[in-house]
């Protein structure tokens, strides 16, 4: 057994090799009652603050046409009550919000869900741009369905087989949300990692329990990121990071993509809807919908890839919304404010607020988050430019 270090309370010498770089003691400090909740809240607050003060990269190549598979751990570990009421309930709440944010910021992208339980993977929801379908599918999950062990390899393999044939100008991503700290795999998982890397698929892992070496290696090989959550608020913050499109390799091929812009019209004759071609209930003369400008197929909503002629159907506002990521709103500077009102919502400012570096407009914390995560514009800059002219 190793001796204790000469300095009292420093621990065993062999522990330093495992604790190097963690700095747990400097982050999580116990209060008088022995709780670390305040330290966790402080760490999350500082992380959010640093994100607000950091500029997102501009003038870079981004994959705004994203095809993302969410590989969801549905094993027995999801029923544990480490997060109340259960990990599954917390995960469903956070993912429901993630889906809304994802399609708000990526209107021409598609998202699918793969469930992994009892060492098997199943495609729960195919790639789709219909967020209502995704949310209803998530809401249907209950603890009674959580079974067996988690298999990272089987989940990744199913996602890989569905993504590998997409063209190179698309951003192909796999987002793993896991709870189990072990994986039961049928063969060498590193061979699958190499195949994923070869087909330029980025992998990201959000773990609800702790860091796993195999997940960290997967992210390092494919250019992704591995995160471990602290609580539900931190979970939501981490998932928000995956809303924005990732940078793509500049060496990949650039291709023109054909798109159609259908109008929202009244359908005056009975016809099958291509979205629900197997359901007779959708053959009706009334209602509104979209007609593909190339093959005239009917759809309930856009964006979608036409199932008949493969033309991508979008609206002009959706395309404009997707392109805003190329020139994101620069981060505002943090300023001390003792008085005044928020330029956006007219509420009294707190002690710390945020100011646009271009027009000096001062906004509160909530409005700063709204402008950077959703709207992507500064409301004061157009007024400043007009005044200067």
**Confidence category of residue 43, pLDDT binned at 50, 70, 90:** low
* Nearest alpha carbon to residue 71 among 152, 130, 187, 142: 152
Domain 329-388 has CATH 3.30.40.10: yes
* pLDDT at position 112: 96
pLDDT at 386: 42
Domain coordinates in residue numbering, the chain: 61-241, 259-323, 329-388
**pTM exceeding 0.85:** no
Q: What are residue 227's DSSP bridge partners?
A: 206
Phi, psi of 312 (to 5 degrees): -80, 120
Going 295 to 296 to 298 to 300, the CA torsion angle's sign is positive
Q: Which residues touch 185 (CB under 8 Å, ≥6 apart)? A: 151, 152, 153, 154
How far is CA 296 from each of CA 130, 265, 304, rounded to the nearest angstrom?
20, 12, 14
Residue 289 has pLDDT above 80, yes or no: yes
Q: Sheet harboring 288-291: ordered strands across?
A: 264-266, 288-291, 298-299
CB 345 within 8 A of CB 366: yes
Q: Do 361 and 332 form a contact (C-beta atoms < 8 A)?
A: no
- Residue whose C-alpha is closest to residue 344's, from 328, 373, 368, 374: 368
Each residue's pLDDT tens digit, 334-376: 888 878 889 989 888 888 788 888 888 899 888 888 888 777 7
Q: How far is CA 336 from the centre of its chain?
A: 32
DSSP 372: I
Q: Is the pLDDT of residue 4 over 50?
A: no
Identify the H or E element spanning 112: strand 110-117
List phi, psi (to 5°) of 317: -60, -35
What pLDDT is recorded for position 340? 86
Q: Report how far apart, in Å, the C-alpha atoms of 87 and of each of 39, 133, 175, 291 are.
A: 21, 22, 17, 43
Is the pLDDT at 161 greater than 50? The verdict is yes
Task: Name the more confident of 79 and 12.
Answer: 79
Residue 282's pLDDT band (cuts 50, 70, 90) = very low
- The 10s digit of each residue's pLDDT in 13-42 is 555 554 444 455 555 566 666 565 666 666
* CATH code linked to domain 61-241: 3.40.50.410
Return the pLDDT at 280: 41
What DSSP string describes 100-111? HHHHHH-TT-EE
Helix (H, G, I), strand (E, B) or coil at 121: strand
């Amino acid at each position: 057994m190793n001796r204790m270090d000469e300095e009292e309370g420093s621990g065993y010498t062999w522990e330093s090799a495992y604790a190097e770089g963690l700095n747990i003691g400097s982050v999580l400090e116990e209060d008088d009652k022995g709780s670390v909740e305040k330290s966790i809240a402080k760490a999350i607050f500082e992380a959010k603050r640093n994100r607000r003060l950091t500029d997102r990269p501009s003038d870079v190549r981004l994959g705004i046409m994203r095809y993302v598979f969410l590989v969801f751990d549905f094993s027995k570990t999801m029923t544990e009550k480490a997060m109340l009421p259960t990990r599954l309930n917390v995960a469903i709440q956070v993912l429901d919000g993630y889906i809304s944010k994802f399609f708000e910021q990526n209107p021409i992208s598609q998202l699918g869900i793969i469930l992994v339980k009892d060492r098997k993977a199943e495609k729960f929801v195919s790639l789709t741009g219909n967020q209502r379908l995704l949310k209803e599918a998530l809401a249907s999950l209950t603890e009674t369905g959580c079974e067996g062990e988690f298999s990272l390899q089987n989940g990744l393999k199913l996602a890989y087989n569905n993504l590998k044939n997409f063209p190179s100008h698309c951003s192909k991503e796999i987002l793993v949300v896991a709870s189990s700290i072990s994986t039961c795999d049928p063969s060498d998982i590193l061979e699958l990692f190499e195949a994923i890397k070869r087909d330029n698929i980025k992998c990201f892992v959000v773990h609800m329990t702790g860091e796993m070496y195999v997940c960290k290696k997967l992210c390092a090989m494919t250019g992704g990121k591995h995160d471990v959550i602290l609580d539900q608020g931190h979970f939501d913050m981490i998932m928000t990071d995956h809303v924005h499109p990732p940078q793509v390799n500049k060496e990949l091929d650039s291709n023109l993509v054909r798109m159609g812009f259908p109008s929202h019209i009244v359908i005056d004759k009975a016809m099958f809807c291509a979205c629900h071609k197997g359901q007779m209930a959708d053959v009706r003369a009334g209602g509104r919908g979209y007609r593909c400008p190339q093959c005239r197929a009917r759809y309930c909503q856009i964006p979608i890839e036409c199932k008949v002629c493969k033309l991508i159907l979008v609206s002009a506002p959706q395309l404009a919304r997707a392109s805003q990521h190329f020139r994101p709103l620069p981060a505002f500077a943090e300023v001390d404010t003792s008085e005044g009102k928020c330029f956006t919502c007219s509420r009294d400012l707190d002690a710390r607020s945020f100011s646009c570096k271009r027009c000096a407009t001062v906004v509160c914390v909530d409005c700063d988050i709204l402008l950077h995560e959703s709207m992507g514009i500064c409301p004061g800059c157009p007024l400043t430019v007009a005044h200067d002219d």
